[in-house]
Amino acid sequence: MEYGTGAIMAVPTHDQRDFLFAQEHQLPRRLVIMPKDGSLKSAEELKEAYEGEGIQVNSGGFNGLVNIEAKTKIAEWMEKNGMGRIQTHWRLRDWLISRQRYWGTPIPIIYCPKCGVVPVAYKDLPVELPADAPFTGEGGSPLAKVKEFVEVSCPKCAGPARRETDTMATFFDSSWYFLRFCSPSFTEAPFDQQEAKYWMVVDQYIGGIEHAILHLLYSRFFTKFFQDLKMIDFNEPFDKLLTQGMVLKDGEVMSKSRGNIVDPDSMIKDYGADALRLFILFAAPPETELEWDERGLEGAFRFLNRVWRIQDNLLENPDQEILKYLHKTIKKVSSDFSEFKFNTAIASLMELTNAIYHSGADRQVFQSLVIMLSPIVPHFAEEIWQLLGNKTSIFKSPWPSYDAKFLVEENVELPIQVNGKLRSKIEVARNISEDKLKELVLADQKIIPWLEGKAPKKIVIVPQKLVNIVI
C-alpha cells in the first residue's frame, strides 16, 4: 500500500497471507523487501511471498535500509505521526517445574500443619535423593514411598512435617550446568562466582536443533536470573551458537529403529578414520543436513595419498607462485575455520595441494599445508610431521599466519598457442574472466595472422597456465 493515495495501489509481498490475499483478489503485488543478493527484482517473479531478510524497496523514506533496522524506523515514524505507539510485549508464562519422578533435583520445601509451606534451612541444603526408593512402575512419585525421606521435622517449629516428594524438571538442571562446569568441585554454593567470572561466557555453543529452542530459552532465563541476584556479571550465557544438521540416509534421519544407519567400522578399516573424517567434513557445512553418500570417501582417500607423496619431492627453495598461493590459502582457511566452513576450507586445501603437485613446494610450504590439515586429519598430519623430522607434536606448532604482501592480485603471463604451437604471450590479470581472455587473445597482433580470418574451432583455456586456439 502507499501512504496517502487513499486506494490500494499494490499489496506488499513480504507476508504469505498478504500474498495469498493479493492472488485471490487479483491485486497487483509489490516487492518491499528485496533479498540482499539481488536474486529477486520484482514481485512478479514470486511464486510465494519472500519472507526472508533483505533491503527495503518501494518503501518511501525507508528505501535502502536493512529490513530489521527499517522495522524500528517505521515504528518510530508511525509513533511520531500519531499512528501508534511502540510497545514491547513479553510473553512470559508460568513454568511448572515439578515432576513425579525419582530422577530430578528434590524441591527443598517442607509442609508443616502449623506453619504451612516452609523452605528447607540453608544449612541443610542440598536435599539429596534417597538411595533406596522403590521403583514400582505404579505411578506417583517414588520418593513419596520412602518414609525416612518424607517424614521430617519442621525447620520453624520442629513439629512433625512432610517433605515435598516431587522433583524438578531436568531443564532446571540443564539450564545452568555451564556455570557449574566452571567449578565442578565447589561445595559451598551452586558455583564459584570467581571461577564463573573467569570462564564465562561460552564462546561457542554447539548442539543439535533440539537444543535451539527450549534449552536456549531456559539457559538465557537462568543467566538473567543469576545476574539479577548479582551472582554473575553477564547477561547472556553464549556468544555464538551453532546448530548442527542431521545426517540423512535416503532422505530420512538415520536411526536404529528405522534400520538405516551406516556402520563406520568397515569404512575405517578400508580407508582409515582420517579419510572418513575428511569426507564427512567435506560433504556439507555443519549446520545443514547431510545426505549420506559414500562415493566421496574414495576421493578423500586419494587426496590424502596425494598429500602424502609430496614429502618425497620437496624443493630446496620456495617457488614464488606457490608461496602466493599458500598465503592466500592460509587467509581463506583461517577465516573458514573460524566460521565452521570446513567444507570450503578443505576445498581450498585441495586446490593448494593440486598446485603444489604441479609446481612443487619446499619444506616450509608443505609444513604449512600439513598444519592446516591437522585439525581435519590429525593422525595423518602428525605422522607426516614426524616423518619430516619434527621432534614435537604438530599440535604444539603455531597456526601459520599469512603475509599480506603475497595477497596482492597480480598479472600473469600466459603463453598463447595455435594448434598446440607457441605463437605469442599475453600478460593479463590473474583473475581475468574466460570471455575477456578470449577477446584479448583473438585481438593479439601476433595471433591474428594465424587465424587466417576464420573463427577458431575451439579455444582451450587452462586457467593461469595457457591458452590454446584450435583452428
Q: Give the interface segment with Zn ion, choosing from 18-26, 147-155, 232-240, 340-348 (CB under 5 A).
A: 147-155
Under a CB-based contact definition with an 8 Å cutoff, are residues 114 and 159 in contact? yes
Of the residues 20, 66, 125, 157, which one makes contact with Zn ion according to CB under 5 A: 157
Task: Please state, in angstroms and as integers, the Cα–Cα distance from residue 113 to each residue in 16, 144, 171, 252, 342, following that order.
Answer: 58, 17, 31, 56, 63
Q: Does 347 bind Zn ion (CB under 5 A)?
A: no
- Between residues 62 and 111, which has the closer beta carbon with respect to Zn ion? 111
Least Cα distance to 231 among 197, 183, 201, 200 occurs for 197
Beta pairing partners, 66: 55
**6 Rama class: left (phi>0) / alpha (psi -120 to 50) / beta:** left
Least distance from Zn ion to the Cβ atom of residue 240, Å: 50
Nearer to Zn ion, 153 or 313 (CB): 153
C-alpha cell recorded at residue 447? 595471433
Name the residue nearer to Zn ion (CB basis): 156 or 215: 156
In the complex, least distance from residue 155 CB atom to Zn ion, rounded to whole angstroms: 8
Q: Which position among 99, 101, 145, 156 is part of the footprint of Zn ion (CB under 5 A)?
A: 156
Q: Does 36 bind Zn ion (CB under 5 A)?
A: no
**10 Å Cβ neighbour count for 261?**
13
| Stretch in the footprint of Zn ion (CB under 5 A) among 44-52, 138-146, 154-162, 376-384 | 154-162
Among 41, 71, 114, 379, binds Zn ion (CB under 5 A): 114
- The one-letter amino acid code at 256 reads K
Q: What are phi and psi of 53, to 5 degrees?
A: -80, 165
* Residue 418 touching Zn ion (CB under 5 A): no
For the bound state, the minimum distance from the C-beta of residue 118 to Zn ion, rounded and expressed in Å, comes to: 6
Give CA 260 to chain center in angstroms: 26
Residue 256 Cβ vs Zn ion, minimum distance, rounded to whole Å: 52
Minimum Å distance from CB 168 to Zn ion?
A: 23
Closest CB to Zn ion among residues 111, 218:
111
Is 162 an interacting residue with respect to Zn ion (CB under 5 A)? Answer: no
Which residues on adjacent β-strands are paired with residue 153? 160
Residue 169 interacts with Zn ion (CB under 5 A): yes or no = no
CB of 160 to Zn ion, least distance (A): 9
DSSP codes, 259-299? T----HHHHHHHH-HHHHHHHHHHHS-TTS-EE--THHHHH
Which one of 33, 34, 55, 112 is in contact with Zn ion (CB under 5 A)? 112
Using the contact rule CB under 5 A, the part of the chain among 47-55, 108-116, 187-195, 246-254 near Zn ion is: 108-116
Choice from 11, 70, 154, 169 touching Zn ion (CB under 5 A): 154
Does the footprint of Zn ion cover residue 110 (CB under 5 A)? no
8-16, 151-159, 172-180, 420-428 -> range binding Zn ion (CB under 5 A):
151-159
**120 near Zn ion (CB under 5 A):** no
Min dist CB 164 to Zn ion, Å, is: 14
Task: Give residues with Cβ within 8 angstroms of 282, minimum separation 6.
Answer: 296, 300, 342, 343, 346, 347
Q: Which residues of 318-354 are buried (b: 16+ CB within 10 A; e: fewer)?
A: ebeebbbbbbbbbbbbeebbeebbbbbbbebbbebbe
Among 27, 46, 75, 115, interactor with Zn ion by CB under 5 A: 115
What is the chain's alpha carbon radius of gyration, rounded to the nearest angstrom?
33
Residue 184: how many other CB atoms lie within 10 Å: 10
Q: Which parts of this chain interact with Zn ion (CB under 5 A)? A: 112, 114-115, 154, 156-157
